[in-house]
Amino acid sequence: MDGLARDDRVRVVLRPYGTPVALGLTAIILGTLMLTGLQLEWLSGAGDQRTVGLVGIAAAFPLELIAAIFAFLARDALAATGLGTFSSVWSVSGLSLLTSRPGTTSNALGMFLLIGAGILALLIVSAGPSRLVLGFVLLCGCARLSLTGFYEIDAGAWLKQAAGISGLVLAGACVYALVSLLSEDIPGRSLLPAGRSGRAAASLEGAFAEQLHDLEHEAGVRRQL
């Protein structure tokens, strides 16, 4: 590195991780489709609502939390923050479904979901055009949380339907992203374009030297975050 003598080089050792984003996307698919079933009335009654709540707490929340932690360890702050936001949404939503009566709504839950949508909107701006597929998933998630939040506040039947439909769109976006990301790890077998450009594309297709560029300035290597 610049400014260091040959014998004073600093070596940074990183642990190799598989992409945790695929696990996070799987958790979103599980959670959003179950909630969509409740909102579109494919599921009904206290028993079904309790089961959807359990899916949120016992499946979606822990899987997304694990994915967020490993995304931070893999130095992908954008994906980690998005998955962490989804995990918090599922923990709160799951508990709310478990403790509330069928058909009831909550202004406080609606406000929480709208705040979560605002955080996802900030991440979309931060993502920029270099990661289109991840940005589209965040956009669908933002719409999903917004419509569900407004339904919790307004309790309008059309909002409930719109929120359920947005859940289907989010699940579809996650399925596309899941296939595109996993197939990237198989050289020569990328099934769907992941929409990477700029530094995002260089991280997958560039030479090894490009991976080391400005490494000393990245979080986990530099002295201060």
Domain range enclosing 110: 21-217
Tens digit of each residue's pLDDT (9 = 90 or more) over 1-29:
455 555 566 666 666 677 889 999 999 99
- Domain contains 1: no
Kindly report whether the global pTM for this prediction surpasses the value 0.95.
no
pLDDT computed for residue 181 by the predictor: 82
Q: Which CATH number is 179's domain given?
A: 1.25.40
- Domain contains 223: no
| Residues contacting 104, CB < 8 A, separation 6+ | none
- Domain contains 186: yes
Tens digit of each residue's pLDDT (9 = 90 or more) over 188-220:
566 666 655 555 555 555 555 566 566 666 666
Q: How many structural domains comprise the chain?
A: 1
| Cα angle 190-193-196, degrees, rounded to a multiple of 5 | 110
- Domain contains 61: yes
Q: How far apart are CA 179 and CA 194, in angstroms?
A: 9
Residue 214 region by backbone torsions, left for phi larger than 0, else alpha for psi between -120 and 50, else beta: left
Q: How far apart are CA 20 and CA 97, in angstroms?
A: 27
In which band, very low, low, confident or very high, does the pLDDT at 132 lie, cut at 50, 70 and 90? confident
- Domain contains 94: yes
Strand partners, 131: 196
- Mean pLDDT over 118-137 rounds to 86
Return the percentage of the chain with pLDDT > 70, whole number: 75
- Domain contains 165: yes
- Domain contains 43: yes
- Domain contains 13: no
- Mean pLDDT over 136-164 rounds to 94
Q: Are 97 and 53 in contact (CB under 8 A)?
A: yes
